[in-house]
Structure 1
């Protein structure tokens, strides 16, 4: 039962900055031992950091669709993988704000379908990055035991090092466009409060970081990832399926390669923080700081080698968790909230920020209210139905407990208060049967049904999309992409 809501916040502008693949603990303010994130740390010091924030799906396209609609994947009934992108068919908070007369502008990566006639709800989209050909990652539709190993996986280690990539260049353009928009918007008549959604692409791989950031992280600083040794890695069947299809670690030959990849990732985190600093500096320089609240988060995390995993796609905290910071007028300063939250709460937050009366979806709650402790009994939900998975994975965070449920594989259960590194799977101990049963009931209530039925429904939709694109052989012939190219860059198929 939720507490009574706190008083509404005075309507103001809202600046949302979304990064891509930022692990939740890769922040100085989150206690990371060496990562350099001074701009985000300063933002956290002036606002509230949500320490139990999650993505609705640990992969780009479904996470961003759920962020747009405020609905979990099973509630949308579509947009569950990287080959089923958001097309504007379900109402978003962008639609709601625009319809209410608010300016709501996006700059940067959206990863929607982006085809002629699609209306994503924004007043304007600048430098928009959408999925390739309006189709996205069709190889993700092949999820059974015949799924081929992804060829693009080997490029992750090869690209790691100092330098510039399409993504760092794109992020520089996004940050510049955001600074220009803020400076020019400050000259305009005030009008209704606006929302600016700035979506960066780093620290998503390629792990090529500008030299000034890459060399911050030499081997003696980064060390080695936790549980990286072969005899330390968990052997859950879901992880085995993932490794056979997305073999990122198979191309990692030695410790030096691991540390070069880590330096690339953390260098990109610092590079991204630098871009955030430029945007926040422009906000203040334009005189908009006092009238604008700021929300920072990411679409999902990154394993950064932990347990031999790279990228996202699993339900460990490194991948399914996200950093989340809210700052501005009325937001408690220097506070850390342990209440579970999700990217699906962002729409409700945007509605309240600007004073839009439209009600958010049932399970979405404004982060302003949560920052004040108005919703202490919430749960957070995530689901994965994409590449590397032969069956669905669901994650429920309820208080200190995290329950990971698969369609048929053994579940996992972690007590994150006692075991924040997820080293002890409580589900293997028969003494925890009653706790598992309680978590199962809570998950089914949130899903509105049997996880196996949802798994089957998603697979049926994926089979239909696969057939509509010529079937397995046609999709295999199309090729693989290691990552989506920015606007104007030719896809590098392999």
Structure 2
């Protein structure tokens, strides 16, 4: 790496399936994340960060583009982002070196190398696989380099990704934009379980903290939390290593560091899923920003979406924000130029269903298509002309989402207000006006 101080570098660290409440800065009592906690104290923590799509590929596409998943074409797994302009294109056009390490998940090539036209503009460094669940195990495997040749490793996967990222930091010229996309703490698909490094699960096997939304619910959390916590702990150590690389190069003060996850996890306590629902444990994620423009030691309470991350990073680097993004820069709020608080996030759900949701500071309101297939969509369309009310939660009184208020006459005014706001999001993003049926509407139960 060489030094150029005119514009900040940007290092974006992305994890997969990490709950917000695994991080101490968000209230976890497990002391898993001292590095992230220090980063949050120094920088800016987004208290109510929400993924726009609680599924790996669609969420990653939205993060890369600042657009919701239906508008990128990646509204479910195994679809390609080719043709969309990403953060790499925008940073590259502004003179940045751009690099990507790890889990891409938006090329549709599965275990085959990702061709150049499906890499989203990451031209300078590429060490990645489309779906590394198919090319790696937790202890060994391979990614691919810029030429499509395998890059083998035989060590814990998060450690290997960190090694590749350290090499990328050395190879990139300033100013640089580097994404490091870990697979952890996602479960290992071919084992149907979470796999921590040796010895790490043992640290949390006795009386681990059980988040309130999991308590008393059937699911796999009882067996899986020790490994899951061990994976989060190791990720924090990996972040510490990356920060030390920046420190050694004298680049820490000139680098924006972002940390977030594509979605959360509820350990199959909600209908058979780790994610793919509107519930907080699936859609709420950690989101921490540090470095130039962000080192203010503050917490943003406003409900924000990961579609806001792309314009925020571009704004922080002085790169023009393109028209047509669904998100907006958070820098005016962070700098105190706009009031904090309020806000709402629009969420699209695929695969398990075709669903839509809105999350406000107090309320969660969600609807689902009555007959469409969540994987295929209606005739290949990820949208629906008809939705039925499915969930209404009062997050102020019921943060664990234990009591579904949908259809309650005493909450009809609340539901109607949220219904109109959700419909406005659908029209703004997707360009159509669906029929959202109230729970008590005639014809609701015919579906």
TM-score by length of 1: 0.71
Distance 1:218 1:165 in 2: 25
1:417 to 396, 407, 413: 396
Higher relative contact order (CA 8 A, sep 6+): 1
Distance 1:132 1:174 in 2: 11
Which residue of 1 is the match for residue 385 of structure 2? Answer: none
Say yes or no: does 1:401 pair with 2:396: no
CA contact (8 A) 2:292 2:316 kept: no
Classify 1:71/1:86 alpha carbon distance in 2 versus 1 (closer, same or farther; 3 Å): same
Say yes or no: does 1:86 pair with 2:49: no
Say yes or no: does 1:450 pair with 2:433: yes
Which residue of 2 is the match for residue 202 of structure 1? Answer: 184
Matches within 5 A, 1:12-161: 12-76=8-72, 78-87=73-82, 89-113=83-107, 114-115=114-115, 117-131=117-131
Say yes or no: does 1:431 pair with 2:410: yes
Classify 1:184/1:125 alpha carbon distance in 2 versus 1 (closer, same or farther; 3 Å): closer
Shift of the alpha carbon at 1:195?
1.2
Matches within 5 A, 1:237-276: 249=219, 258-276=221-239
Classify 1:435/1:284 alpha carbon distance in 2 versus 1 (closer, same or farther; 3 Å): same
Give structure 1 regions of 4+ aligned residues with deviation exceeding 6 angstroms: none
Distance 1:35 1:314 in 2: 28
Say yes or no: does 1:220 pair with 2:185: no
Classify 1:350/1:403 alpha carbon distance in 2 versus 1 (closer, same or farther; 3 Å): same
Distance 1:176 1:132 in 2: 16
Distance 2:123 2:247 in 1: 24
Classify 1:71/1:340 alpha carbon distance in 2 versus 1 (closer, same or farther; 3 Å): same
CA contact (8 A) 2:311 2:321 kept: no
Shift of the alpha carbon at 1:307?
5.0
Shift of the alpha carbon at 1:290?
1.0
Bigger shift: 24-33 or 175-184? Answer: 175-184
Shift of the alpha carbon at 1:306?
4.2
Distance 2:183 2:402 in 1: 31
1:364 to 303, 322, 327: 327
Which residue of 1 is the match for residue 266 of structure 2? Answer: 303
Residues 305-350 of structure 1: CA deviation (Å, up to 9, x unaligned): 5457552111111111111001123325332212111221221122
Distance 1:365 1:224 in 2: 31
1:58 aligns to what SS in structure 2? coil
Distance 1:85 1:440 in 2: 32
Q: Which has the higher strand share?
A: 2
CA contact (8 A) 1:228 1:307 kept: no
2:156 aligns to what SS in structure 1? helix
2:301 to 317, 338, 348: 338
Classify 1:222/1:177 alpha carbon distance in 2 versus 1 (closer, same or farther; 3 Å): same
Classify 1:47/1:224 alpha carbon distance in 2 versus 1 (closer, same or farther; 3 Å): closer
CA contact (8 A) 1:66 1:73 kept: yes
Classify 1:434/1:330 alpha carbon distance in 2 versus 1 (closer, same or farther; 3 Å): same
Shift of the alpha carbon at 1:451?
4.6
Aligned residues: 383
CA contact (8 A) 1:228 1:308 kept: no
Distance 1:306 1:333 in 2: 37
RMSD (CA atoms): 2.8
Shift of the alpha carbon at 1:166?
5.3
CA contact (8 A) 1:70 1:347 kept: yes
CA contact (8 A) 2:214 2:266 kept: no
Classify 1:307/1:357 alpha carbon distance in 2 versus 1 (closer, same or farther; 3 Å): closer
Q: Which has the higher helix share?
A: 1
- Structure 1: runs of 5 or more not aligned: 1-9, 137-158, 234-248, 253-257, 454-494
Residues 126-172 of structure 1: CA deviation (Å, up to 9, x unaligned): 22111489xx9xxxxxxxxxxxxxxxxxxxxxx9xxx8465973321
Shift of the alpha carbon at 1:184?
4.8
- Structure 2: runs of 5 or more not aligned: 1-5, 108-113, 143-154, 189-193, 371-387, 437-447
CA contact (8 A) 2:363 2:395 kept: yes
Residues 265-298 of structure 1: CA deviation (Å, up to 9, x unaligned): 1111111111111111111121101111111001
Which residue of 2 is the match for residue 381 of structure 1? Answer: 346
Classify 1:181/1:224 alpha carbon distance in 2 versus 1 (closer, same or farther; 3 Å): closer
Distance 1:184 1:265 in 2: 32
TM-score by length of 2: 0.78
